[in-house]
Chains A and B, each alone.
Chain A
Amino acid sequence: MRTVLTFLTNTRGKKRLSLSDWLTYGYLLLGTFLMFGPVIWLVMSSFKTQAELIRFPPRLMPYRQEVATVAGYDEPLALYDVTLEDGTIRHLAQVRRVGIEAQMVDPAAPEEIIRVNINQRTPVETIYFSLENYTLGTERFNFWVYLGNSVVVTVAATALTLLINSMAAFALSKYQFPGRDAVLVTTIGTLLVPLSVILIPVFLVLQGMGMLNNLSGVIIPAAATPTGVFLLRQYMLTIPDELLESARIDGASEWRIYLQIILPLARPALAVLTIFSVMWRWNDFLWPKIVLSKSELFTLQVGLASFGGELQVQWDLLLAMTVLTLLPITFIFAFLQRYITSGIATTGMK
């Protein structure tokens, strides 16, 4: 503890912490608690048994009551610490409970039944991370189907986004052609048109193209992201035109230039767009919800939403499924957080 404190109070350059430093650390630590706390609470809760979940007040760690198999009884019996009348505490197994009286036996000597008041016993519990919610949840919730759909949508949409956005960005950054500025302006202009404003006509278009209840209806429309085009174009503008000119002199076709020169050089921007696109598509809710109404086509988000919107919410299973849904994004973030945060800071896009 002492070393932690000296480590923390050892500021760069300055000798001692001022009041504002203390306030800053206080705020940041409180913030850490508020930002992570809810997620940690979710994860902890997802490992709890049904009985533990409805307990009030709840406890942070998941507990399970210890049981013992006692000779003469078929079912394992729950263990309690019982305070007897003479003040000694004994480890007993409960046979049955009648009103306020509990009939207990000593697992070592199961013949003698000891009757105690129920207030004199406390359950023997150990911390236990139960995976039951996960196993039961994945069965009941059709998890693997939704996961499959989510993965297909995310991967296909991201691949398509990278391809058509980079092609468009290449055209918009490296060619002079009539209509270029018009395309550029409309592209940036529609950055401001949210899907929510054009819900009704989009629905009609999807129906007209036979894309309702079809994963392609989620994949294709989302691929022409204005953000992606804009981001890649800004990056490609920094690639010197001389490179293209000398390639043309060497007889390279425009497609060869795009594939062999532009794309490899634009790798950092493509990486940022990949991360963004995966995040967007994985977390998408409104569009897939409109397109997909058959439950076997649901993505994880749509499935989770309908599971959570049921009249009787099965929290035990829902919590576990929520954890599974946020897991992939959390992993991506853990490994690529530097990339993500700097990508957003420089482009200001999400």
Chain B
Amino acid sequence: MAIKRILSPFNWLLSTVYHLIIDLVDLLMRPLQNILGVRGMAYVFILPNLLVFGIFILFPMLLNFYYAFTGGTELFPENRPFVGMDNLNQLFTCEDFLSPNSCREDLFWRAVLNTGGYVISQVALLVFMALITALSLNRNIRGRGFFRSVFFYPVLLSPVVVALIWRWILLQDGVLNAILVSLGGERISFLLNAQWAQFWVIIISVWAQMGFFTLILLAGLQAIPTEFYEAAGIDGATAWQSFWNVTLPLLMPNLFVVLVLSLIRAVQVFDQVFNFTGGGPGTATTYMVQYVYTTGFANQTKEYGLAAAASLVMAAFLLILTVIQLRLGRRGEIS
């Protein structure tokens, strides 16, 4: 109440200014409306967003194709010679696709394989943990709001912050190694060992993203009418049976959204890992986006064509995922 009284002159000022702005805009825009008509104004409203959108998203999307099919190290399109499929060919020149050393662009294939391994294990762990957490939070427990916030909090942290927090924990002299030593173990250089680095990249991304997907699943769980469970209970179903026969089928749409969103996000893994391991040790945690970034920006010779071709490959990958989502999503609606 007191706050409201203090703010009331401020509010009054704000609303006066706002009405002045309305009158001014009204005065300026009315002639335009007289020319374009009511319907024409729709284009005026949509124009700024469409401009920004077109210049910074749509146009670059088209331009990406141009880069992928031209060569050289020049940034400006007019200086780039057309090379056709050369860039894509270079990416796909490989004796054996499963052993990157036999490929012309071995780093690319390493990145592809790393990404594949990461996507599969990260998404599986992420969806599983989010489901467990959502089921726990959906129970009749005390402090539900508190626990929900707790699991959500890391979602708000930036990838840089998340990476630094965990680097600090995993240092050679860090707290995790201290715990290991106190339990009688040996110190481990987590981020200097390929397998450990890959493991921790997955763990910290699950840590950072879980709360978000938990919320989507929780919303789905809460939308399931309690009558269904009561009916299952009357029929003598055990908790396990009602989970398999009531919860899981009814949660499917949400589970599906979670699966696809997490897949799409996993394919694009970059900034967190970049600040966490820098892609190392060696190339153990170099993923596709980092390949694009290194090839196009960070390397001394900037091979824009190659980087653009690689991002086309990635876009195709994402497109397939999206199409699967739309297909299955539609089937889910019908059944």
A contacts, CB < 8 Å to B: 7-8, 10-14, 20-21, 24-25, 27-28, 31-32, 34-36, 38-39, 41-42, 45, 54, 56-58, 163-165, 167-168, 170-172, 175-177, 180, 183, 186-187, 190, 192-194, 196-205, 207, 209, 220-221, 223-224, 226, 229, 248, 253-256, 258-260, 279, 282-286, 290, 301, 304-305, 308-309, 315, 318-319, 322, 325-326, 329-330, 332-333, 337-338, 340-341, 344-346, 348, 350
Residue of A nearest to B275 (CB): A305
CB pair A333–B297 under 8 Å, yes or no, is no
The residues of B that contact A207 with a CB separation of less than 8 Å are 75
Which of the residues A21, A31, A172, A194 comes within 8 Å of B139, measured between beta carbons? A21
The answer on a CB contact under 8 Å between A176 and B56 is no
- Output the least CB separation between B252 and chain A (Å): 15
CB-contacts of B140-162 with A (<8 A): 140-142, 145, 147-161
Output the residue of A54, A163, A337 with the most chain B CB within 10 A. A337
Q: Kindly supply a per-residue 1/0 record for chain B positions 85-105, scoring 1 wherever the CB is within 8 Å of any chain A CB and 0 otherwise.
A: 000000000000000000000
Residues of A within 8 A of B164 (CB): 42, 304, 308, 318-319, 322
Judged by a CB distance under 8 angstroms, whether B324 is at the interface is no
What residue of chain A has the Cβ atom nearest to residue B138's Cβ?
A: A24
26 A/B residue pairs, CB under 8 Å, sorted by A: A12-B140, A20-B139, A31-B150, A36-B153, A58-B178, A171-B42, A177-B43, A190-B57, A193-B315, A197-B268, A198-B63, A199-B307, A200-B292, A201-B63, A202-B60, A203-B75, A220-B56, A221-B55, A254-B41, A255-B22, A285-B271, A285-B275, A290-B297, A344-B212, A344-B215, A348-B216
- Name the residue in A28, A193, A309 with the highest tally of chain B Cβ atoms < 10 Å from its Cβ: A28
Could you say which of B5-13, B46-54, B119-127, B229-237 contacts chain A? B46-54
Write the chain B residue with the least CB distance to A315. B168
Residue contact B169 to A41, C-beta cutoff 8 Å = yes
| Bound form: Cα–Cα A259–B29 in Å | 12
Main secondary structure of the interface of B (DSSP, over half): helix
A57-B182 contact, Cβ under 8 Å, with A167-B48, A192-B322, A254-B33: yes
Verify if B26 is at the interface (C-beta below 8 Å from A).
yes
Q: Are A309 and B278 in contact (CB under 8 A)?
A: yes
Closest 10 CB pairs between A and B?
A283-B158, A57-B178, A201-B60, A201-B63, A168-B49, A175-B42, A221-B56, A171-B45, A224-B52, A224-B53
B290 to chain A, nearest CB (A): 9
Indicate the size class of the contact surface on chain B: 35 or more
CA distance A101 to B53 in the complex (A): 73
Q: Does A8 contact B61, Cβ atoms closer than 8 Å?
A: no
Chain A residue at smallest Cβ distance from B57: A190
**Is A164 a contact partner of B39 (Cβ separation < 8 A)?**
no
B318 contacts A by Cβ under 8 Å: yes
The docked-state distance in angstroms from the alpha carbon of A175 to that of B37 is 12
Residue in B22, B45, B147 whose beta carbon sits within 8 Å of that of A167 in the complex: B45
User: CB of B198 within 8 A of chain A?
Assistant: no
Q: Which of B50, B160, B165, B215 has the most CB of A within 10 A?
A: B160
16 new A-B pairs (CB below 8 Å) besides A255-B22, A259-B18? A8-B142, A28-B137, A31-B133, A32-B150, A58-B174, A58-B175, A175-B42, A190-B58, A192-B318, A202-B56, A283-B159, A305-B275, A322-B164, A322-B165, A348-B216, A348-B219
Query: Do A341 and B147 have beta carbons less than 8 Å apart?
Result: no
Give which listed residue, B33, B38, B42, B165, contacts A42 with CB less than 8 A.
B165
A residues near B150, Cβ cutoff 8 Å: 31-32, 35-36
Enumerate B163-185 residues with CB–CB distance to A below 8 Å: 163-169, 171, 173-175, 177-178, 181-182
Contact of A38 among B169, B278, B315 (CB under 8 A): B169
**Given A35-B207, A285-B271, CB of A255 within 8 Å of CB of B26:** yes
Contact of B318 among A183, A197, A330 (CB under 8 A): A197
Closest to B68 in A: A200
Q: A28-B136, A170-B45, A198-B61 are in contact. Are A308 and B167 (CB under 8 A)?
A: yes
B270 at the interface (CB under 8 A from A): yes
